Chain A
Amino acid sequence: MPWTDAGHAGEFQDVGMAPTESPPTLHAEGLTKRYGRRGRLALSDVNLAVPSGRVIGLVGPNGAGKSTLLHLACGLTEPTSGSLTVLGSPPAANASHLARVGFVAQNTPVYGSFTVAEHLKLGATMNPAWDRSLAERRISQVGLNPTQRAGQLSGGQRAQLALTIAAAKRPELLIFDEPAAALDPLARRGFLHSLGEFVRELGASAVFSSHLLGDIEQVCDYLIVLCDSRIQLAGDTRDLLAGHARLISPRGESGWMPTGFEVISTDHSGAIVRGGTAPEALPCRVEPVTLEELVLGYMARAAAVPTAPATAAVRRAQR
């Protein structure tokens, strides 16, 4: 049972850097972003160290600061205080660093009056490492007509085009800001499939934000939960799942609280807890958590509202 190596892995905001040669994908220290001088605090004292080679899922409710974090990571905006390095350098520091990071923005913007082929031409003329054969192969695989104007593409086709442009520059890191949010389920599945293929083919790291847990579960092996402009949880999904458990309250005992654990959230049937004493001694049943329970537990804790039992039941039923 993975429960035993709880405690060291997946500690809250304590993501030890793997002893690898390559610099961390993302490294943030005290990263804070405030819009306007006295404006909204979008990110507050974020500390992160994501090792390279991961497909990172960034989850959180709308307005949690996901886009802000990703915009900071690709240099579209600058931090108010603190520091962030991407692949070992400040974001968008120069042309060669720009070449190492691919970005697909929310709503996947493209030039409406350009044809698909012209978008590839744009990529080819603006990126020294442009992989033309990769771009053309992908475009034909997803069935895009090169002579069609991008303004006439469907949302799913546009997302595929934006993804192809970002990937064919052969970046070391691909950043996606809710690229699938506006897509219908079929287009989303196709997009996520393409995304996974690109990441594998390029051997790149990727960051992928979404408020759809299913997307994250499908693609990611590293999880960051961002709520209320703060990091709630970050770590390899395997470690996170191993480091948490679901305790089922003994029959008939409502309001039961386990002791000796950090309780993340509770509901009618039990509690999500993190690490602590060995489970054998517990007077209750212990079950592994699912990614969804884990994320919802942390999101609920951040919102300071207990997980609504009905919602949890519905979500379990959906699977």
Chain B
Amino acid sequence: MMWLNWRQFRIQALVAVGALVVAAAYTAYLGGDIRDAYDARQAACRDQADCAQATSQFRSAYQNTLLFLATGLALIPAVIGTFWGAPLIARELENGTHRLVWNQSVTRSRWLLTKVLLVGLAAMALTGAAAALLTWAARPFDEVVKEEFSTFVFGARDVAPIGYAALAVTLGTVAGLLLRRTLPSMAVTLVVFLAFQFFFPNVVRPSLIPPDRATLPMSVEAINGAQNLGSIGGGSVIGGVKMPHEPDAWIAQTSPLRTKDGKTLDGAEFNSCLDSPPKTGRGGTFGDTAVCLAKHDLHIDVRYHPSSRYWAFQWLETGIYLALSGVLTAFAVWRIRRRVS
């Protein structure tokens, strides 16, 4: 049984190992580079005044590269699910070879389980190794920038990608089993998996652990610490706020700007501050607008997670993905025993 699995999987495995070697070589180079830049920044930071500029330089030097790599890492499970998971059963059903292999002295459920296990574990190992490489390379950067909860970064570090790989393979297997044809199941796997990877971090992840709540007064300094004001859809909103005493905390939900009585700041007043604030000559990110808004005595209500919950989130998310993979595998075993001819 294991011989057949290996024989059918060896080319994919070789390609994967080859790709991993290339990725390892590149991340080793990148990791060294980042560490050199980090040392330079540390040296610059002996002087308080130069530190901010050195940090900003360090950040902008690697931010895009690391974001690009994180996106690439997010695509690995999707590609694996599409090219390893979906054809796993579908190709056999399409070519009729299931009628050959299912009549050897190995039950269908065992055949399916060993196949899913081999390919699933290989996918988890490959993705896990790639994630470990990226986590290592980016460590000095993550230490300085502290964005471990940003959607892309969280999903491209530590253990969470292992869960994604398991889900992608089992999802592909089930799609192939149900659709019975290789190409449609590949397409469905890719679309469904990417949709789920969008849905989960944005909808499920923030409430995996009940968030803490806080009310943040919107002083001039607080407003200037934010990243954006207003939105395309209109409304008195502020974005990219940080917790005052816990800058690393993940703010999962931010209310609109609220006045003292808890009502949302009137859109007209917000816009007038945004468009034509009284001149005060104050600097900062938002200048006069910040001063104008602060005069309204505003606050926002936020839901947030302290950064100490990072590993709880990582393990929880990995566990959920592995559990879902287990459910899909169990369904596939049930289905292959009963409904496939």
Contact = CB atoms under 8 A, between A and B. Distances in A.
Given A122-B3, A122-B4, A74 B97 contact: no
A37 to B, nearest CB: 12
Contacts of B95: 109, 111-112
Contacts of B96: 105, 107, 109
A245 to B, nearest CB: 41
A114 interface: yes
A127 B97 CA distance: 17
Nearest to B95: A109
A122 B100 CA distance: 10
B331 to A, nearest CB: 17
A272 B100 CA distance: 41
A74 B106 CA distance: 13
Contact of A126 (B1, B108, B341): B1
B4 to A, nearest CB: 5
A239 B1 CA distance: 45
Interface in A52-107: 71, 74-78, 92, 94-96, 98-99, 101-103, 105, 107
Contacts of A103: 99, 103
A121 B5 CA distance: 12
Given A76-B341, A78-B338, A121-B3, A110 B103 contact: no
B105 A165 contact: no
Interface residues of B, number: 23
Contacts of A107: 96
A94 B7 CA distance: 24
B341 A105 contact: no
B341 A77 contact: yes
Nearest to B111: A126
A136 interface: no
A248 B56 CA distance: 107
A316 B21 CA distance: 72
Contacts of A101: 103
Nearest to A122: B4
Interface in B86-144: 95-97, 99-108, 110
Given A98-B107, A102-B103, 5 more contacts: A95-B106, A107-B96, A110-B97, A125-B3, A162-B100
Closest 5 CB pairs of A and B: A105-B99, A77-B341, A126-B104, A99-B105, A109-B96
Interface of B: 1-4, 7-8, 95-97, 99-108, 110, 338, 340-341
15 contacts: A74-B103, A76-B99, A76-B102, A76-B103, A76-B341, A92-B107, A103-B99, A105-B99, A109-B97, A118-B7, A121-B7, A125-B3, A126-B106, A127-B105, A162-B100
